[in-house]
Chains A and B, each alone.
Chain A
Amino acid sequence: MTLRQYFSLIDVQARMLLKADNSKYKLGVLWWFLEPLLWVGVFYVVFNMILDSGRKGGDFILFLTCGKFAFIWFSKAVNQASGSIVASQGLIGKVNMPKSLWPMSAIQESLYRQAAIYLLLAIILILFGVYPSLSWLWMLPIAFVMYLMIVACGLIGACLVCILRDFQKLIPLGLTFLMFTSGLFWDVRKLDSQEKTEFLLAVNPLAFMLDAHRQVLMYGNSPDVFHLVLIGIVMTAVIAGMILFMARNSQYLALRALT
């Protein structure tokens, strides 16, 4: 199988996943936009109306939207990718394909969705009076590093679940833990001590990424480039390691998926 064929298969699989998903629901494509919006609504009610976020309404909506729209990409893609090898059991028993094909297709699908979600994010920002500026170009490297992070975590999740199904129980828990620790509805920069903020940004790359989204889109600041590049390099290394592992253990993974 050539690399070109591999990527064209990922692309076709991802489009088919989208098509199948859209045809399943009455509102179809609308759900791409509705789901993240409803999430923002839920968080707004809880953290601004019931609890006090300490921010003004409009500001808090933008704050939530930037964070949630980035986080939902990560959580959905990693969740889908993690179950993808096991879910494709039937196919895995029939064709000898690289096992990364299934998580990568799931991730590709979420990439297409995310393109639409980013567009919606831009519209919301404009509606709330934040106009596009040159600093928005920072979103290109930020989205790219987000993508690398998703691929790295998705491949790891897919292998873990394939080798031991029990991990399927832990992945949603892990994602929820990440949601609470990544500063989705609280500001990582407004913690009671500076050290805590720095510690959190250092150990949780997702907290850094959500903050980077806000810095660029809401305040027109540039992100910490060194930190961004570092995350990018680490994720690339993880991806390379996982691809190698999956290529060497393809038949082992098939056996685990089938039995």
Chain B
Amino acid sequence: MIGNEKRKVMLTLQDVSLSFQSDKGAFDRGVHHVLDSVSFKLYENETLGIIGRNGVGKTTMLRIMAGILAPTSGRVVSQRGKSASLLTIGLGHKADLSGRDNAMLSAMLQGATKKEALGYLEDIKEFSELGDSFEEQVKTYSSGMKSRLGFTTALLTHVDILLVDEVLSVGDAEFKKKAEQAMKERMGGDQTVVFVSHSDAQVASLCDRVIWIDSGKVCGQGAPEQVIAQYRESIHEKAQLKKKSLESAGA
């Protein structure tokens, strides 16, 4: 994006790689390479989209950015005192507890004090549209209700860098719209956001800048339209290749 050089850098990833030894695995003598020399910068107030197919290392990248995992090699430079929080639905719901108790726990695990968490509860109840079910055990919830609770609790956190992992695929069509709207408002403000999705339409409508990763490597970054076009092309090519190999196998 134009003018990036002047904006404040919130987070820098330098040659970040992550691999781990699995106890039992045949790949490369049990070593899995999840990320391979990934470098990019995250600027203040921007909404950065990360696209890629399933299992290419998007979630791992967010975990590294949130400080949950450390890279095997490379560096993550963050600003002092800036908090980054990963927003995912279903932050470990306990089935035997009510929606209210779960919301309380989730809010505190995301860094809220007890007092703050108690203050959020009514808002969470209202936005999630759970009504009386809010007081009932989560094990009685439908999966849509669970994700509504999870999304709403996560939405109310206040952090410097918001790392969003596939949260917008929640609930029915109507709630989905409401969730997307709320997310847009959040992104439009002063919030710095990293948004992960495999839906390129969502990324195109929400993000200022996009990074495309495949097999743990950055394959492209820049303006959304441009990168998404590259991404689509590669998927198309792969499909073609697969088709060809199937045909030749058939022949």
Q: Which residues of A contact B (CB under 8 A)?
A: 1, 5, 8-9, 12-13, 16, 19-21, 23-24, 88, 90-97, 251-252, 254-255, 258-259
Q: A254–B92 contact, CB under 8 A?
A: no
- SS of B interface (majority): loop
Contact with A along B107-119 (1 / 0, CB 8 A): 0111101100000
Q: A254–B91 contact, CB under 8 A?
A: no
Q: A20–B92 contact, CB under 8 A?
A: no
B25 → chain A closest CB, angstroms: 10
Given contacts A12-B108, A95-B85, contact A255 B113 (CB under 8 A): no
Cβ contact of B96, chosen from A1, A20, A259, cutoff 8 A: A20
Q: Residue B105 at the A interface, CB < 8 A?
A: yes
Query: What is the CA–CA distance of A258 and B63 in the complex, to the nearest angstrom?
Result: 11
Contact with A along B53-70 (1 / 0, CB 8 A): 000000100010011111
Q: B108–A259 contact, CB under 8 A?
A: no
Chain A neighbourhood of B66, CB < 8 A: 95-96
Of B88, B96, B110, most buried by chain A (CB within 10 Å of CB) is B96
Q: B68–A254 contact, CB under 8 A?
A: yes
Given contacts A23-B137, A96-B67, contact A12 B114 (CB under 8 A): yes
Q: Which residues of B contact A (CB under 8 A)?
A: 20, 22, 32, 59, 63, 66-70, 85-86, 88, 90-92, 94, 96-97, 101, 104-105, 108-111, 113-114, 137
Q: A251–B96 contact, CB under 8 A?
A: no
Return the chain B residue nearest A165 by Cβ.
B23
A3 → chain B closest CB, angstroms: 12
Q: B68–A94 contact, CB under 8 A?
A: yes
Query: What is the CA–CA distance of A75 and B63 in the complex, to the nearest angstrom?
Result: 34
Query: What is the CA–CA distance of A255 and B137 in the complex, to the nearest angstrom?
Result: 31
Cβ contact of A8, chosen from B91, B113, B137, cutoff 8 A: B113
B41 → chain A closest CB, angstroms: 21
Q: A91–B92 contact, CB under 8 A?
A: yes
A94 → chain B closest CB, angstroms: 5
Given contacts A94-B68, A96-B67, contact A16 B94 (CB under 8 A): yes
Query: What is the CA–CA distance of A143 and B179 in the complex, to the nearest angstrom?
Result: 50
Chain B neighbourhood of A258, CB < 8 A: 69
Return the chain A residue nearest B25 by Cβ.
A259
Ordered by A's residue number, 24 sampled pairs between the chains whose C-beta atoms are within 8 Å are A5-B113, A8-B108, A9-B109, A12-B114, A16-B97, A19-B96, A20-B94, A23-B96, A23-B137, A88-B92, A90-B90, A91-B91, A91-B92, A93-B59, A94-B92, A96-B66, A96-B67, A96-B68, A251-B69, A251-B70, A252-B70, A254-B68, A255-B69, A259-B32
A10 → chain B closest CB, angstroms: 10
Query: What is the CA–CA distance of A95 and B97 in the complex, to the nearest angstrom?
Result: 20
A99 → chain B closest CB, angstroms: 11
Chain B neighbourhood of A8, CB < 8 A: 108, 113-114
Query: What is the CA–CA distance of A128 and B59 in the complex, to the nearest angstrom?
Result: 61
Chain B neighbourhood of A23, CB < 8 A: 96-97, 137
Cβ contact of B67, chosen from A5, A9, A91, A251, cutoff 8 A: A251
Return the chain A residue nearest B86 by Cβ.
A94
Of A5, A16, A88, most buried by chain B (CB within 10 Å of CB) is A16
Q: A91-B91, A251-B70, A254-B68 are in contact. List 12 more A-B contacts (CB 8 A).
A: A12-B105, A21-B96, A23-B96, A91-B92, A93-B59, A94-B86, A94-B91, A94-B92, A95-B66, A96-B66, A254-B63, A258-B69
Chain A neighbourhood of B32, CB < 8 A: 259
Q: B108–A255 contact, CB under 8 A?
A: no
Q: B68–A19 contact, CB under 8 A?
A: no
Q: B97–A19 contact, CB under 8 A?
A: yes
Query: What is the CA–CA distance of A259 and B69 in the complex, to the nearest angstrom?
Result: 11
